[in-house]
């Protein structure tokens, strides 16, 4: 009986960890406004309500790098589909054009999945106030809301922050999606 109790407690702890009831001290969860995601607990967050009804979450990730999550309501009104592109495609094309207009250099483009939905990723290099950044923009359309994830990383911290970005993207959920 004595050996059974520790085994049961160990099994219960493993189940709770697997179910997400106990979180790692290094990970925090953002859960508001109908969406949630995990992020490193050391990131400092500020939140703004946008005039269009969306939200912008600014994360100071330390060392001069930042991460921004923003939502765009009524995405199909702002970026209407065309004969050739759906709403996500139009939004991505306009985002890419904006990056090129400020002299960003495209390094990589690829499709990805966020919350089980198609997304577009662009990795680019950009200089801001004389500082070089290697950055990532991921845009996803879920329902009629657009979600953008923009990482501005100094080159020395890019690899580690890219892994953190993957944590955010792989854990991202919108209420009602799996």
167-170 long-range Cβ contacts below 8 angstroms, 24+ apart = 167/27, 167/38, 167/39, 167/40, 168/37, 168/38, 168/39, 168/67, 168/69, 169/37, 169/112, 169/114, 169/119, 169/138
Query: The domain 25-174: what is its CATH number?
Result: 3.40.1000.10
**Low pLDDT (below 50) residues in the chain:** 1, 5-22, 178
> What is the total residue count of the chain?
178
Q: Which residue has the tokens 């939502």?
A: 71
172 in Cβ contact with 97 (< 8 Å): no
Q: What's the CA gap between 41 and 52, in Å, rounded?
A: 29
Phi, psi (deg, nearest 5) at residue 13: -60, -40
Q: Give the pLDDT confidence of 1-21 residue by residue, as tens digits.
A: 455 544 444 444 443 344 333
Tens of pLDDT, residues 19-35: 333 455 699 999 999 99
């Amino acid at each position: 009986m004595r050996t059974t109790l520790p085994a049961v407690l160990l099994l219960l702890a493993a189940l709770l960890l697997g179910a997400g009831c106990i979180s790692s001290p290094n990970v925090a969860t953002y859960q508001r406004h109908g969406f949630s995601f995990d992020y490193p607990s050391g990131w400092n967050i500020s939140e703004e309500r946008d005039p269009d009804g969306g939200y912008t979450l600014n994360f100071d990730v330390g060392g001069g790098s930042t991460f921004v999550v923003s939502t765009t309501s009524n995405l199909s009104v702002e970026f209407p589909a065309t004969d050739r592109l759906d709403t996500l495609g139009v939004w991505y094309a306009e985002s890419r054009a904006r990056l090129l207009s400020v002299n960003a250099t495209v390094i990589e483009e690829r499709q990805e999945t966020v919350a089980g939905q198609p997304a577009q990723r662009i990795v680019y290099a950009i200089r801001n106030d004389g500082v070089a950044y290697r950055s990532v923009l991921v845009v996803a359309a879920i329902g009629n809301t657009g979600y953008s994830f923009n990482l501005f990383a100094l080159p020395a911290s890019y690899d580690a922050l890219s892994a953190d970005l993957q944590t955010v993207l792989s854990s991202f959920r919108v209420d009602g999606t799996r």
